[in-house]
Amino acid sequence: MAAPAFAGKVNIAGLTAPEGYDGFIVKYREGSAERRDALNVKGSLNRVAKAGIAGKARALGHVRRLAVGSDLVSAGKLDRVEAETIMRELAADPNVEYVEVNRRMMPTLTPNDTRYNEQWHYFGANGLRANTAWDRSTGAGTVVAVLDTGITPHTELNANVLPGYDFISNAASARDNDGRDNNPNDQGDWYLAGECGQVRASNSSWHGSHVAGTVAAVTNNAAGVAGVAYGSRIVPVRVLGKCGGTTADIADAIVWASGGAVAGVPANANPAEVINMSLGGDGACSATYQNAINAAVNRGTTVVIAAGNDNDDVANHTPGNCNNVISVAASDDNGDRAFYSNYGARIDVAAPGGETCSPNLRFLALGEEPYCDVNHAARGILSTVNTGAQAQVAQGYKFSQGTSMATPHVAGVVALMQSAVAAPLTPAQVEQALKDSARAFAAGACPGGCGSGMVDANAAVAEAIRVAGGGGGVDNAVKAYSNTTDVAINDLYYSYSSIAVAGRTGNAPSNASVSVDIVHSYRGDLSVALIAPDGSVYTLKNYNGQDGAANVKTSYTVDLSGEALNGTWKLRVGDHYEGDTGYINSWSVTF
C-alpha cells in the first residue's frame, strides 16, 4: 500500500522483542498543533485508536512529552504485526515526523546459553570481559585454525566448523589406520600405563574440542556454553594424537592453515586470520618451527601459542618461545598468574586459564614443579568435550585448566579485532594492540612476569579500530556475512534472523546479494524481506497462496546503495496462513 503524502517515517528496527510491545515514541512536526501543545496529541491518537486493527478499536494513551520534544504513547500489549500496523497508522498523520518503538534496553549482551553463568572467564572481574566486546564484534567473517587433537561432533560446534585436515602422518598415533587425510575427527589420545614414556595411563582429553569451544562455540542458542568469537569459524587441524605430535607434522599444519602449500595436501580453502596452538614441549625454538611461523605471519596470519604449564620460564619451552608469536600465560579467577603457568620475558599477554585444583599456597616457588592440594572444578574453564574415556561416546562439557585454555581466549579476541576493522591488521599490529590494551596485573600478582597484562576483549577491539583509523577506511573488498542458526517459522507470525556487520565504512552497493535457505512445506505462505539497520524494508518475496511448492532456496540482487553497511541486518520471514510450518535454515548477505 502506498504511503500517504508527507507521511512520517516508521522505524521498525525495534520490532524484535519476543514479549510484545506496549509503547511507541511519536515525534510531531514543528509548527503542528500537536507539537505546540501536548494536549492536542490526544485527538490525534483517538483517530488512530478508532481505526484500530482489522476494524477493532485499540486504546492509545498519551503518557508524557519527552525532554527531546517527542511524545510517549501507550498502546496495551501488541504482537509484532499489530505493533507495525499501529505504527503505520500513526505515521500516516501528515503532522507526524516519525514513529518508533519504545524499546527496552538491556545490559551488555548476556547470552542465554544455559551454562554461561559458569563461564566466569568471560564476564567476571578477572575474566576476559568478552561480554563487553560483543556489541562491537562477534568475530563474523574471520577464520581461526585450531591445531590440536582434532574435533568431535558437538551441537555447540558443528555449525561453526569448516573443513579441516588431519596432519598426523603416523597411522598408529592417528588411530585412523591411514595417516594424513582430510578427516580431522579426534580419534582419542588415550594411552596405557607405560606407553608414551608415561608411568600412568591417561584417558582421551578431547583437547581440541575444548579449545574450539572456547574460540567459537555456538552462542545465544539457549544451550550449553558461549564462545569468545562465536561469529567466527573454526578450521580444525589435527596434529596431536596418541603420544602427542611431531614438529614435522605441526610445521606443515602451520603452513597449510595460513594458506601455504603442502605437498600432497589439497589447498586450504579457508586460510586463517589466526592460528591457535595450545601445545608445546621443552627446549629452544627450532628452525623448523620458526620458519613455518614466519611463513604464516608473512601471509598475514597471527600465531597464538600457549606458554606452557611447568611454572617455569617460557624461554625453556617451545614453540611458545619462538619469535613472531603471541605467547600466552594463564591467569586464575582471582586475577593472579595461575600457579602452573609459565612466565618470563618472552610472555606477551595473559588470559584466563583457570584452576580446577591448586596448592595450599598462592604461588609456588618459581621453577617448582606444579602440584595440587585442593580441587575446585568450577574455577576452571568450561567448554565443549566428548564424554568417552577412550573412543567418542557422547557430547558433553568439562572444566579444564592450563595455558591451553588461556590461548583460545586470546585467539578469539584476535578474531573479534579483525572482524571489527575493514582491512585486516598485520600480525605485528595485532600483537601491539593486544599489549597496549591489556590490563596490568596488580602488584605481586604475577611473579616471574606476565608480559603486558591480562587481555581485555573490549579494549582490544577498540584499540584495533583506533589503529585501523576508526574502522580502516573504505573497504572495497566484497565480503559475505551469514547466519546459520535455525529459526523456527510459526503460523501467522514474523520470524527474524540477524547478521551484525561491523568494521565497514560507507554505503552498501546497488547490487548486493541476499541468499536464503528456508525450509517450509508450503512456500506460498511466506513473505521474505531484508530489513536494513535503519529499519528500511526491502521485499524479497511476497506471499502467494497458489504456490504450493516447498522451500525457498534462492538468491536476490538488491539495491542497498542508500544504506550504511554497518549495523544489524535482519531477514524477516512472515507466515501468512495456517497449517504449514518450517524454519530459516541459513541466510547470507554479500556486499
The pLDDT tens digits for 340-391 are 999 999 999 999 999 999 999 999 999 999 999 999 999 999 999 999 999 9
Supply the mean pLDDT for the chain: 90
Q: What is the pLDDT of residues 430-442, one digit of tens each?
A: 999 999 999 999 9
Q: What is the DSSP string of 112-127?
A: --TTGGG-HHHHSTTS
- 8 Å CB contact between 565 and 591: yes
How far is residue 499 from each of residues 137, 348, 425, 532, 584, measured CA to CA in Å?
A: 11, 33, 23, 10, 13
Query: H or E segment at 489?
Result: strand 487-489
CA nearest neighbour of 168 among 211, 215, 217, 208? 208
* Nearest one of 456, 464, 465 to 129, comparing CA atoms: 456
Q: What's the pLDDT score for residue 332?
A: 97
The H-assigned helical ranges of 438-516 are 457-467
Could you say which of 62, 121, 154, 207 is catalytic? 207
Give the pLDDT score at 19.
Answer: 54
Q: Where residue 106 falls among pLDDT bands split at 50, 70, 90? A: very low
Q: 450: helix, coil or strand? A: coil
CATH of 116-467, one of 3.40.50.720, 3.40.718.10, 2.60.40.2230, 3.40.50.200: 3.40.50.200
pLDDT band at 7 (very low <50, low <70, confident <90, very high): low
φ, ψ of residue 118 in degrees (nearest 5): -90, -5
Cell readout for 17 is 522483542
Q: Is 98 exposed, middle or buried (0-12, 13-18, 19+ CB in 10 A)?
A: middle
Output the pTM of the full model.
Answer: 0.66
d(CA 561, CA 2): 22
User: At 216, is the pLDDT very low, low, confident or very high (cuts 50, 70, 90)?
Assistant: very high
Q: Which of 423, 530, 540, 528 is nearest to 470 (CA)?
A: 423
Q: What is the mean pLDDT of residues 109-127?
A: 93
> Residue 474: phi, psi to the nearest 5?
-70, 125
Residue 472 in this model has a pLDDT that exceeds 90: no
Catalytic-role residue among 173, 327, 404, 452: 404
> Percent of the chain beyond pLDDT 90?
71
pLDDT tens-place string over residues 374-383: 999 999 999 9
pLDDT score of 48 = 82
Read off the amino acid at residue 359: P
pLDDT digits (tens, 9 = 90+) for 270-300: 999 999 999 999 999 999 999 999 999 999 9
The CATH code of domain 9-101 reads: 3.30.70
Is residue 404 annotated as a catalytic residue, yes or no?
yes
> Is 534 among the residues known to form the active site?
no
pLDDT of the residue at 479: 83
% pLDDT > 70, the chain: 94
> Where on the phi/psi map is residue 30: left (φ > 0), alpha (ψ -120 to 50), or beta?
beta
CATH code: domain 480-590 is 2.60.120.260
pLDDT at 1: 36
**Count of CB atoms within 10 A of residue 322's CB?**
20
Rounded Cα distance, 484 and 517, in Å: 9
pLDDT, position 386: 97
Average pLDDT over residues 12-18: 59
The whole-angstrom separation of Cα 471 and Cα 417 is: 11
pLDDT category, 108, cuts 50, 70, 90? low
Q: Is 452 a catalytic residue?
A: no
What integer pLDDT is reported at residue 355 of this predicted model?
96
Provide the pLDDT for residue 16: 54
Mean pLDDT confidence for 415-421: 94
| Domain definitions of the chain by residue range | 9-101, 116-467, 480-590
Q: Do the domains at 9-101 and 480-590 have one common CATH topology?
A: no
Stretch 562-591: mean pLDDT, rounded? 90
What integer is the mean pLDDT of 489-511? Answer: 84
Catalytic residue among 148, 310, 313, 332: 148
| Three-state secondary structure call for residue 277 | strand
The residue-averaged pLDDT of 464-491 equals: 75
* Residue the block writes with cell 583457570: 354
Identify whether 352 is preceded by a cis peptide bond (ω within 30 of 0): no
How much is the average pLDDT of 208-230?
96
Q: What per-residue confidence (pLDDT) applies to 5?
A: 39
